Chain A
């Protein structure tokens, strides 16, 4: 009788010890709700690579607070309706406390609302609509990449350094995003003293941009700003080159205008083009060199800003969870607010007022078909005022 009791007690103890150990060793699951199919697959791929590389490094170094990191991927198809459904699955079925990977701003906003209603956290490392950490900010949503406002502010600061009262001509794609990027840069440029020479909006997929060239020539701009993207950029730039419009004019643009995907097709017409970005693989710091080398070794390609920002995000989460001592939403939120941490592109700080990361901005220029870092702008100069009033 005594013996059985003893045995039972021993078993209970062992069992108790075992479950406690299991709990400590339970992996921390992080949901990744990103487009793995559809238009934004290349972006989702970078997000995935960045996160997987960071998870591998964190796990090799002992995990987050001694727990391994496990990434749970879901395909958002870049469609908010799908992203929301997958986010609910990740939060409720997979029980993740932290979600990332949303790409298009509509999906980030909608999934942010799901995070709110589930009392969990979301951080985006891609979406750049200002509203996410502005008018539509949420206590449960963070952004670690540079928003559109930071990109245009950095570019405007650079423009002022180059030529104080430049005459700028704006050429945007004729849809809401195109118009809002042009409006945002115009505001930033006029804020630093640039003059507006004129503006024109061309429909998406315009085949022939020469119809606008007379208007541009007549305005005699020093600078042409454009926010067209993809193959539109290829046509616009090559046609401008053919018509001699690139001579004596500085072309600047949004970060998505000239990318590694279309730079080869644009060819020499891209030379001299300047944009403001939050990351470039060419940033000359030891941390970035190590990161680019590891990324290349693993995936045989350079990281872009999405890969780098996603990579950096996991280290912010690690630092916050370790400071908070748990993955509890309120504790981690508090730890993330005001958090400073090291990323490949330098130190980032999450502003507590709107959950936007303050990050050094870079001005990159195309030289001989390749991007080079032309200048860097301190994070504080490009961040702009806190427009979030919800918390």
Chain B
């Protein structure tokens, strides 16, 4: 048996600050799941459908925000066109469902199409950095949106209606996409899965390379890592997260329209990430829920809801550099960290006789 490097705490890996913050994020996701289950139970007890379906929509947009955060928060790439993959996922899912009403096939087709699109888009967008990357992603999404807007086979400007309500086979269970609490749980499960996969991948050495890319891309190359490959992988991962989230949209609302590909959707996702907390993965999820609910509630009593969102966005940028989740997560991380002494102190403790 090869000798393993000595650890400060035998049998118990010491968590650095990053892992502690991630653990705090996980805890917040668990909280979200509990809240989601409670909401589904409460909603079905009260016979509500509107609020449950609004929550489902919020979770769908949360997936899109998660995708933006993978790029912006980890790799440091600002994408202004993430609606492209959200929209591709939605359109392909809608087309598949209208041909063959199968939930899993729709998800499969949507992720396949998103993968192909992301590989093409990634090759184009990853040639440049910084503001040029933002502009290229913006341009790509606009081009595809215009093409969809003008393609009669895709419903052109009117979009496509008539996406059927389908059954979601989940092992021994069946949930209909038309059942408000049932589909809320499906959306929640998919979001948690996307979160878990992203969080896992970002915690691997690959994830650390991404964080290094954000800090200083030139040095990463000197360390012997391929920056292009890492950026590309992050881009494709983010696109898949967006595409799979988008695939749920037509199942919920029964239609797709070119507006799903517009800058408004991409821009909203960026705002969501900034308000929620950049680079926290869980922040954008809470941000999406907050903004979707806020928009719906405020929108009902004033048509100036965008002013409220705008003020919230500016306030977040000015006063909450870590977003709303930044108010909570560091405390949670500290609390988690108190359970085990921080590495420096641990090493100190070990050095003492």
Q: Which residues of A contact B (CB under 8 A)?
A: 36-37, 74-75, 77, 79-82, 84-86, 88-89, 92-93, 104-106, 109-110, 112-114, 117, 129, 131, 136, 175-177
Contact = CB atoms under 8 A, between A and B. Distances in A.
Interface in B279-307: 296, 299-300, 303-306
B57 A85 contact: yes
Contacts of A177: 156-157
Contacts of B162: 113, 136
B33 to A, nearest CB: 24
Contacts of B178: 117
B254 A117 contact: yes
B222 interface: no
Contacts of B156: 176-177
A177 B53 CA distance: 32
A355 B158 CA distance: 19
Interface stretch (B189-197, B199-207, B255-263, B340-348): B255-263
Contact of B158 (A74, A77, A89, A131): A131
Nearest to B57: A85
A93 B50 contact: yes
Contacts of A86: 296, 299-300
Looking at B48, B54, B253, the one whose CB has the most chain A CB atoms below 10 A away is: B253
B215 interface: no
B159 A106 contact: yes
A47 B169 CA distance: 44
Contact of A109 (B255, B259, B296, B303): B255
Contacts of A117: 178, 254
B299 A176 contact: no
Contacts, number: 85
A37 B51 CA distance: 23
B142 interface: no
Contacts of B49: 88, 92
Contact of A112 (B161, B259, B303): B161
Contact of B161 (A77, A104, A109): A109
Contacts of A37: 303-306
Nearest to B47: A92
B161 A136 contact: yes
B254 A79 contact: no
B324 to A, nearest CB: 23
Given A36-B303, A37-B306, A113-B255, 17 more contacts: A37-B303, A85-B296, A86-B296, A88-B50, A88-B54, A89-B54, A104-B157, A105-B158, A106-B158, A106-B257, A109-B159, A110-B255, A112-B161, A129-B158, A175-B149, A175-B157, A176-B150
A110 B253 CA distance: 8
Interface residues of B, number: 32
B253 A81 contact: yes
B300 A74 contact: yes
Nearest to A174: B150
A80 B255 contact: yes
B226 interface: no
A106 B151 CA distance: 14
Contacts of A175: 149-150, 157
Interface in B111-151: 149-151
Nearest to A79: B259
Given A86-B299, A89-B296, A175-B149, A81 B257 contact: yes
A112 B306 CA distance: 26
Looking at A74, A85, A112, the one whose CB has the most chain B CB atoms below 10 A away is: A85
A21 to B, nearest CB: 27
A135 B228 CA distance: 49
Contacts of B151: 176
B331 interface: no
B216 interface: no
Nearest to A82: B299
A83 to B, nearest CB: 10
Interface in B26-42: none
B95 to A, nearest CB: 16
Nearest to A35: B303
Given A80-B257, A93-B50, A106 B157 contact: yes
A279 B228 CA distance: 61
Nearest to A129: B158
18 contacts: A37-B306, A74-B299, A75-B303, A75-B305, A80-B255, A84-B253, A88-B49, A92-B50, A93-B50, A105-B157, A106-B159, A109-B159, A110-B253, A113-B161, A129-B158, A175-B150, A176-B156, A176-B157
A89 B152 CA distance: 30
Contacts of B304: 37
Interface in B289-329: 296, 299-300, 303-306
B157 A80 contact: no
A113 B254 contact: yes
A252 B153 CA distance: 29
